Structure 1
Amino acid sequence: MTYFVYILINNIVPISIMIAIGSVMYRAFKVDIRTLSKLNFYVFSPALVFVKLYESEMNLHVLMQVLLFFVLFFSLLFALIEVVIRVKKMQGGMRSAMRNSVIFYNSANYAIPLNQTVFAGNTYTLSIQIVIMIMQTLIPNTYGIYTVNAHKSTLKATMKTILSLPVIYAIPVAILLRYFHVPVPHSIYLPLEYISGAFMATALLTLGVQLGGMKWEFHFSNVLVSNMLRLAAGPALGFLIVWLLGIEGLTAKALVLSCAVPTSLSSVLLAIEYDNEPEFSSQAVFSSTLFSMFTIPVVIYLLDFM
């Protein structure tokens, strides 16, 4: 019950308020969603990634173990989604939208505070979640962009789009500066902190604006499938992989918990920026965030049996 109340008060209610504000803003002022999307992709997201990476603490052993888990988890989840897509005979942009709604999950603004609450501020479990966050930032900005453009653009044009994104360069720069202990001047780092702090609010407002402008032709069947794969199949695969790899203790628990969070806002931002099933993507994020209030306490309860 404690986890249920925590998730409700600290995740669902604040997120819902921000989404509602975005929806009201659209209804009142017809806010330009393309401008918001550009701000998220080219300003707020790169700043967030740089700051999180530059401030993170991790060692090589944790990094390699988590990366192995992530590769296996991503591969199995991807294979499962492909089976579902083929069984449901999805076509065109819906195929990539469904994949993105499941394989991209909220590993930062939702998973990090959840991790620190469940594990009482443990720095070791936080380092594990940081590694997951890095991967979940890199993939949407590479593979994610490729998939939403593959059916309507050439490979050369898609690669040009990917290479134009600042986040691609923010990741190696942050890692190198941290590894070599190079200090970032305060006059530069302070605005980066301000901008990174605005990411969550801007992303949620963007989702609200998208929801406010939708026709609400609800994609019930596809959204339900997406939610089940993300919230049920995701953590189930996590349990399976840590068992197969023989990972135990806090490491295993932190990895499984990282698989249980709802769909990332990245899937919505990709859908809006590249006009690829934005209504379905918005509904998938909103509903998975809402339903996670019920599924995550179950996962947390099961962690005690590991």
Structure 2
Amino acid sequence: MTGVFQALSNVILPVVIVAGLGALLAAKFPIDQLTVSRLTLYLLSPALILDVILKTPVRAAEALQLGAAYLLTLLLCLLLGYALGWGGPEDRKRSLSAGVGIWNSGNMGLPIALFAFGQAGFERATVLFLASFIGMYIFGPAVYTVGRGGSDPLTFLKGMFRLPAIWVAAAAMLLRALHVSLPEGATRGVSLLAQATLPMVLLALGLQLGSGGWPRLGGRIWAASAARLLGGPLIALTCGKLMHLSTMNLQVLVLSASMPTAVNALLIAREYGADTETVAAVATLSTLASVLTIAIVVTLLPLIR
């Protein structure tokens, strides 16, 4: 248990530092947040996806099973978030959906999985991180485009393929299938961009908070944060049981789904002109509250069979 709290403190403190510096910068200087978001969405995030796919050892059968369980969990979490906004404006319902359905399986999920399970769990968490990253760039845009601009299915497809992450993921998987390696210089360039992704994402959250002040934490924000941190792992447990995951895979899925809202959800909301204030509020509150809730989930993981 002490190790878990140490892992959480080691993960949360860098998040607070980087986001806090971004907030201070935005409070002092006018920052073009849309440009920062687009640098991340169109350049850094695709580089991270390419880097992860080309370097991560993935067992096909296990990856497909974990990916399917993740997908089912994601869809149910998106629906839960949307339901929490019932009776409110459409923009808020969609942003609550993204806040509950898109979680931080990367810079929080991976190190905590390593502390909780060791290398075997870390490898499975990496598979989930890859699945979540691809899923985020498929369903994130879909949250903000489906049902808008008419019912034409092309609206959904345009929203999904507007961001290059999907194209890059497909290209990277093809390279792996063909056993084609990039030149060393290109690989190093991709790795440099990938390493810049997570700091830039956290800075984007800080910029949002610094320019808009501390978010207003209304009842729906608290409910969405609770749904993300408590409802997420419960939904993952149910989905994992339905998919007949092994004990290790089930525990890793539940732990991943207990992570707070991903800041990338905020970047996607900004790119599509959505309710960024709601997404930023859920991301902030769920990240701070996750220090306690993740510790509880980790304590209960041995009971999951």
TM-score by length of 1: 0.91
Correspondence for 1:204:
202
- Matched to 2:228, the amino acid is R
% identical aligned pairs:
25
Tell me how far apart the structure 2 counterparts of residues 99 and 263 of structure 1 sit (CA, whole Å): 11
Correspondence for 1:274:
272
Correspondence for 1:232:
230
> Is 2:94–2:143's contact at 8 Å kept on the other side of the alignment?
yes
Correspondence for 2:131:
135
Superposed displacement of residue 216, structure 1: 4.2
Tell me how far apart the structure 2 counterparts of residues 239 and 198 of structure 1 sit (CA, whole Å): 33
Correspondence for 1:10:
10
Tell me how far apart the structure 1 counterparts of residues 277 and 7 of structure 2 sit (CA, whole Å): 25
Correspondence for 1:72:
72
Superposed displacement of residue 194, structure 1: 0.4
Superposed displacement of residue 158, structure 1: 5.6
Correspondence for 1:254:
252
Alignment counterpart, residue 176 of structure 1, candidates 174, 177, 190 = 174
> Is 1:219–1:280's contact at 8 Å kept on the other side of the alignment?
no
- Matched to 1:174, the amino acid is A
> Is 1:19–1:208's contact at 8 Å kept on the other side of the alignment?
yes
> Is 1:260–1:296's contact at 8 Å kept on the other side of the alignment?
yes
Correspondence for 1:222:
220
Correspondence for 1:21:
21
- Aligned to 1:213, the other structure's residue is in SS state helix
**Cα distance per residue 1:262-302 (max 9 Å; x no partner):** 11112110122222111111111111111110001111111
Alignment counterpart, residue 188 of structure 2, candidates 183, 187, 190 = 190
Superposed displacement of residue 160, structure 1: 3.4
Tell me how far apart the structure 2 counterparts of residues 13 and 52 of structure 1 sit (CA, whole Å): 24
Tell me how far apart the structure 2 counterparts of residues 5 and 234 of structure 1 sit (CA, whole Å): 20
Gapped regions of structure 1 (runs ≥ 5): none
Count of aligned pairs between the two proteins? 302
**Cα distance per residue 1:241-275 (max 9 Å; x no partner):** 33344434322211211111111112110122222
Superposed displacement of residue 67, structure 1: 2.6
Gapped regions of structure 2 (runs ≥ 5): none
> Is 1:112–1:126's contact at 8 Å kept on the other side of the alignment?
yes
> Is 1:107–1:133's contact at 8 Å kept on the other side of the alignment?
yes
Superposed displacement of residue 217, structure 1: 5.6
Tell me how far apart the structure 2 counterparts of residues 9 and 216 of structure 1 sit (CA, whole Å): 22
Cα distance change, pair 60–244 in 1 and its aligned pair in 2 (3 A): same
- Aligned to 2:85, the other structure's residue is in SS state helix
- Aligned to 2:258, the other structure's residue is in SS state coil
Cα distance change, pair 210–183 in 1 and its aligned pair in 2 (3 A): same
- Matched to 2:158, the amino acid is K
Tell me how far apart the structure 1 counterparts of residues 210 and 111 of structure 2 sit (CA, whole Å): 28
Cα distance change, pair 244–151 in 1 and its aligned pair in 2 (3 A): closer
**Cα distance per residue 1:51-109 (max 9 Å; x no partner):** 011111121220232133223323433443344333xx122111110110011001111
Correspondence for 1:286:
284
Alignment counterpart, residue 110 of structure 1, candidates 101, 108, 111 = 108
Alignment counterpart, residue 163 of structure 1, candidates 161, 164, 177 = 161
Cα distance change, pair 42–75 in 1 and its aligned pair in 2 (3 A): closer
> Is 1:104–1:140's contact at 8 Å kept on the other side of the alignment?
yes
Cα distance change, pair 161–50 in 1 and its aligned pair in 2 (3 A): same
Tell me how far apart the structure 2 counterparts of residues 240 and 152 of structure 1 sit (CA, whole Å): 32
Q: Which moved more, 1:97-106 or 1:239-248?
A: 239-248
TM-score by length of 2: 0.91
> Is 2:81–2:98's contact at 8 Å kept on the other side of the alignment?
no
- Matched to 2:2, the amino acid is T
- Matched to 1:213, the amino acid is S
- Matched to 1:252, the amino acid is L
- Aligned to 1:198, the other structure's residue is in SS state helix
**Cα distance per residue 1:128-160 (max 9 Å; x no partner):** 223322232223322221322346545545643
Cα distance change, pair 240–45 in 1 and its aligned pair in 2 (3 A): same
> Is 1:22–1:206's contact at 8 Å kept on the other side of the alignment?
yes
